[in-house]
Amino acid sequence: MEFNARIPDGPIEKKWEKHKFEMKLVNPANKRKYRVIMVGSGLAGGAGAASLAELGYNVDCFCYQDSPRRAHSIAAQGGINAAKNYRNDGDSVFRLFYDTVKGGDFRAREANVYRLAEVSADIIDQCVANGVPFAREYGGLLDNRSFGGAQVSRTFYARGQTGQQLLIGAYQALERQVGLGTVTMHSRHEMLELIVVDGVAKGIVARDMVTGKIETHLADAVILATGGYGNVFYLSTNAMGCNGTAIWRAHKKGAAFGNPCFTQIHPTCIPVTGDHQSKLTLMSESLRNDGRVWVPKKKEDCAKHPKDIKEEDRDYYLERKYPSFGNLCPRDIASRAAKQVCDEGRGVGASGRGVYLDFSDAIQRLGKAKVEEKYGNLFEMYERITDDNPYEVPMRIYPAVHYTMGGLWVDYNLQSTIPGLFVGGEANFSDHGANRLGASALMQGLADGYFVLPATVSNYLAGIKPGTRPTADHPAVKEAEANVKARMEKLLSIKGTKSPTHFHRELGKIMWEYCGMARNEAGLKKALELIPKLREEFWKDVRVLGEGESLNQSLELAARVADFLELGELMCLDALQRRESCGGHFREEFQTEEGEALRDDENFCHVAVWEYKGEGQAPERHIEPLAFENVHLATRSYK
Amino acid sequence: MSKHMNLTLHVWRQKNAKCDGKFVEYPAANISPDMSFLEMLDVVNEGLIEKGEEPIEFDHDCREGICGTCSMVINGRPHGPRERTTTCQLHMRSFKDGDSITLEPWRAEGFPVLRDLTVDRSSFDRIIAAGGFITAPAGTPQDANALPIPKENADLSMDAAACIGCGACVAACPNASAMLFVSAKISHLGLLPQGQPERHIRVRDMIAQMDAEQFGTCTNHGECEAACPKGIKMENIARMNRDFIKASLTYRPATGGGGGVG
């Protein structure tokens, strides 16, 4: 397989500007002759679909939700980073770039990250123009806060609902285009196959989730902005419907997968309460600005009420281990530290898998009213779920799967290894390396959607003749459609004994146990035995009731789980072969004496690029070497 | 650990928009008070699948109270008994052992039932498409701080923007009015300086679409505000009505635009 990152030459701060000029444009009169498919309507998809339509292309946008406004970007709480330096605290494009490369533990592509930092300021301007009600100060100017591992205040926010407000902004822009007739919205539609004609992406096969009809949609270019695959773990902070099917289908059609094992475990989530648990709820990382994380020093104190544990008997372990960053150290580090203290038997709560996040100091310092203004909605959400009042008792938190840095491999133009197939937002692998910093997912989604994809997709379209879409009776189109129908029929015909949820939960247990916060060779090898067995059992024994041609949530889930059962295996394989620790990928064999991640830059300073080789064949691992010319490779230290 | 409960559900089952529906009774046994309401339904559905019966279809997604997907009328109240709480954030500790729970879909002309407890809310998207936006194509707008916005206005705008578009307001209203939803968008955008140029056309177009979607009108029952999981206030409806009157009085048909130069 050949692939080329297509990084423009020249100094890093000039690359994007130069590239924008060098990219080809489409004559305004020709734009309406092109049709672009956007799968996903979150920040990357919604903003991208709206922006491409604003340019004059016809856009078909698909989402599995009943409305594009419900994409899971909506759940992001904390904020969005931008190098505005409104605080005069030393921020700059270069610093945001530097922090993101370092935060990603030197496993991201410099040029992409620099571009992300560069367009970050435009994103805030664009959102304000669209009416996003960011938090403001009394003088009327925008407020900022520091967030998740940053030493400058560069995070813009809208209470604890930043993702919601940014998504609503993009959604409104999208609906405006729907009203103008330039975007056709296909809600409650799920992409189940990519159509590739002569090696080029030309459309998708989707299922209408209300009627069950299998539909074919053809286009000049296809963009996937379908989010992450964290739900491979069954329990995660993702929405119930988030899935990896679109990217997995594309992968099996020839799109390489980058760093599948890079998963982010978020340190501040509400702990699991029992087997009935269907998802995990995140408590915004912004809480770590004012909350102090601790566990009892002594195991025997764990069952006590936290108020009965004296100050000197508490271990504020993040402040102790990382004095300069303290409670604000990056996510991977905070998560691992929580696991460590719980493994030592010092975890709190009924399950023993929890640590305290305590606001009593903040309430004393700032007053309850100020704390409520900052975090009121989060405290309320916590109380709803746990029945504990965090103004009175410390919150209990534990890490949970939150984000996948891995995704389809893309070049600088966000184009996959299939020409005509672009990938934006969390669905691609590009910007966060082995660990994503807080408030950077929203930034990447909107950067891709508002600014990068409109330029690079235009450049692609300029190179192909308008109106060269295949017809619906092209053999490749027919075949893709027939495959989807056969897969749906197969799932319905097994009539086994166990529900799709059963298999999903079992897969989740394997993934969390062996490919979760800490991984080792023996465990990963075990997972690589267990997953194919479970997959085999699934295809023999899954029970999907009802019909294909109707609203059928069991069938939807079964199809997603079937793909997770393949994707999970690739994640374990990738984790096994990356014989180093970096960011969220912690291999127990590779750690420093103090238990920190030990990178191996000599052998692993690269992107693992996985090629699908066919059913039953081992996938092939290629590499894209990473060069660090602007940020020097160094051991990450937050001490 | 608190005690587990046994409940009886009366659930609206309807095959599709064309068929008639009916209530069907299901036991929900051994339910933990720590479960969310939807997790209780998951358990019931797993039991149905085991018995070979088709599970209850219901809309849900984020399960953290923000996406606005979940939607069901629980014992006559949209999103159930707790104030300012979506169904997914409702926990079983709000119920007690032996309770009977009736589950229905949103019922409104503008929200046709698709199957069981799921309804079609695309009418809300069409109302937004009619005018619920600020025209500002992606590009290079002015610096975000070039336009100071008094905190008070920004906060009021944010209060209205917190709407999750779930449709509980419509389900609660005896007139199936969507005016709380529509007015929340009118306020969100109309309270911001960026929203001023289109303020009047926005309110006219959105209300016209709201009427076309068969939503009723507001007669001040206040059920919407009581049902709203995000605490959207009825004062937004008053603001919308004022804007609508002003817009109607000052309306001028568009007088030709571009062209003519060059």
Cα B175 to Cα A462, B120, B207, distances in angstroms: 52, 18, 15
pLDDT score for B18: 93
Span B178-182, mean pLDDT?
98
Beta carbons of B142 and A210 less than 8 Å apart:
no
Span A316-326, mean pLDDT?
94
B149 touches chain A (CB under 8 A): yes
- CA-CA distance, A191 to A171, in Å (whole number)? 20
Residues A57, A40, B106: CA angle, nearest 5 degrees: 115
Each residue of B62-85: pLDDT tens digit? 999 999 999 999 999 999 999 999
Q: Which residue has the higher pLDDT, A273 or A128?
A: A128
Residues in chain B closer than 8 A to A187 (CB atoms): 122, 125
- CA-CA distance, B168 to B149, in Å (whole number)? 31
Long-range contacts (CB closer than 8 Å, 24 or more residues apart) made by B123-126: B123/B178, B123/B213, B123/B214, B123/B215, B124/A67, B124/B165, B124/B167, B124/B178, B124/B181, B125/A67, B125/A68, B125/A69, B125/A175, B125/A178, B125/A185, B125/A187, B126/B209, B126/B213
Which tokens belong to A639?
């001490």
Give yes or no for residue B12 having a pLDDT over 70: yes
Count Cβ atoms within 10 A of the Cβ of residue A300 and give its class: 0-12 exposed, 13-18 middle, 19 or more buried: exposed
- Using CB atoms and an 8 Å cut-off, which of residues 110-129 of chain B contact chain A? 114-115, 118, 120-122, 124-125, 128-129
- CA-CA distance, A205 to A532, in Å (whole number)? 27
- CA-CA distance, A159 to A134, in Å (whole number)? 8
Span B114-135, mean pLDDT?
98
Give yes or no for residue B209 having a pLDDT over 90: yes
CATH number 3.10.20.30 is the correct assignment for the domain at B5-115? yes
Give yes or no for residue B250 having a pLDDT over 80: yes
- CA-CA distance, A104 to A407, in Å (whole number)? 15
pLDDT score for A502: 98
Given this structure, which CATH class describes domain B121-135+145-250? mainly alpha
CB nearest to B136's CB, from A130, A136, A240:
A130
Domain with CATH 1.10.1060.10 in chain B: 121-135+145-250
Q: Give the mean pLDDT of chain B.
A: 95
B145 touches chain A (CB under 8 A): yes
A interface test, pick of B121, B128, B191, B202 with most A CB neighbours within 10 Å: B128
Furthest C-alpha separation in chain A: 75
Residues in chain A closer than 8 A to B49 (CB atoms): 499, 543, 545, 554
End-to-end Cα distance, chain A: 42
pLDDT score for B168: 98
Each residue of A395-414: pLDDT tens digit? 999 999 999 999 999 999 99
Q: Give the mean pLDDT of chain A.
A: 96
Which tokens belong to A322?
């990382």
Q: What are phi and psi of A59, to 5 degrees?
A: -125, 135
- CB under 8 Å to A484, separation ≥6 — which residues? A192, A193, A205, A207, A214
Closest CA to A284 of A357, A336, A225: A357
Ordered by where they begin, the domains of chain A are: 267-400 (3.90.700.10), 475-601 (1.20.58.100)
Span A415-431, mean pLDDT?
97
Residues in chain A closer than 8 A to B69 (CB atoms): 65-66, 70
- CB under 8 Å to A479, separation ≥6 — which residues? none
| Residue A373: band (very low, low, confident or very high) from pLDDT cuts 50, 70, 90 | confident
Give yes or no for residue B258 having a pLDDT over 80: no
Neighbours of A9 (CB within 10 A): 9
Which tokens belong to A337?
């530290």
Give yes or no for residue B2 having a pLDDT over 80: no
Q: Which residue has the higher pLDDT, B240 or A78?
A: B240
Kindly write down the DSSP assignment for every residue of A140-197, as one continuous string: SSBP-B--TT-SS--EE-STT-HHHHHHHHHHHHHHHHHHHTSEEEE-SEEEEEEEEE
Cα-atom radius of gyration of chain B, to the nearest Å?
22
Give yes or no for residue A204 having a pLDDT over 80: yes
Each residue of A137-155: pLDDT tens digit? 999 999 998 886 688 999 9
Each residue of A249-283: pLDDT tens digit? 999 999 999 999 999 999 999 999 888 999 999 99
Which tokens belong to A311?
């100050």
| Residue B251: band (very low, low, confident or very high) from pLDDT cuts 50, 70, 90 | confident
Number of helices (H), then strands (E), in chain B: 8, 7
pLDDT score for A2: 86
User: DSSP letter at A289?
Assistant: G
Q: What is the ipTM metric for this complex? A: 0.97
CB nearest to B192's CB, from A122, A131, A499:
A131
B61 touches chain A (CB under 8 A): yes
Closest CA to A559 of A245, A248, A236: A245
- Using CB atoms and an 8 Å cut-off, which of residues 19-58 of chain B contact chain A? 32, 34-36, 38-40, 42-43, 46, 49-50, 52-55, 57
Question: Do B119 and B104 meet the contact criterion of CB atoms below 8 Å apart?
Answer: no
Which tokens belong to A257?
């997968």
Q: How far is B123 from chain A (nearest CA, A)?
A: 10
Helix axes B122-131, A162-180, angle to 10 degrees: 80
pLDDT score for A606: 98
Which tokens belong to B96?
């007690």
Residues A173, A70, A66: CA angle, nearest 5 degrees: 100
Taking 3-state DSSP, the helix, strand and coil percentages for chain B, each rounded to the nearest 5, stand at 40, 15, 45
Beta carbons of A173 and B65 less than 8 Å apart:
no
Q: Pairing relation of β-strands A183-186 and A58-62? A: parallel
| Residue B1: band (very low, low, confident or very high) from pLDDT cuts 50, 70, 90 | very low
Residues in chain B closer than 8 A to A74 (CB atoms): 62, 66-67
pLDDT score for B256: 62
Each residue of A460-483: pLDDT tens digit? 999 999 888 999 999 999 999 999
Span A196-213, mean pLDDT?
98
Tokens 């109106």 locate to A467
Percent of chain A whose predicted confidence (pLDDT) is above 70: 100
pLDDT score for B87: 98
Nearest CA in chain B to A77: B66
Span B30-45, mean pLDDT?
96
A interface test, pick of B14, B145, B166, B202 with most A CB neighbours within 10 Å: B145
Residues in chain B closer than 8 A to A178 (CB atoms): 125, 129
Beta carbons of A125 and B60 less than 8 Å apart:
no
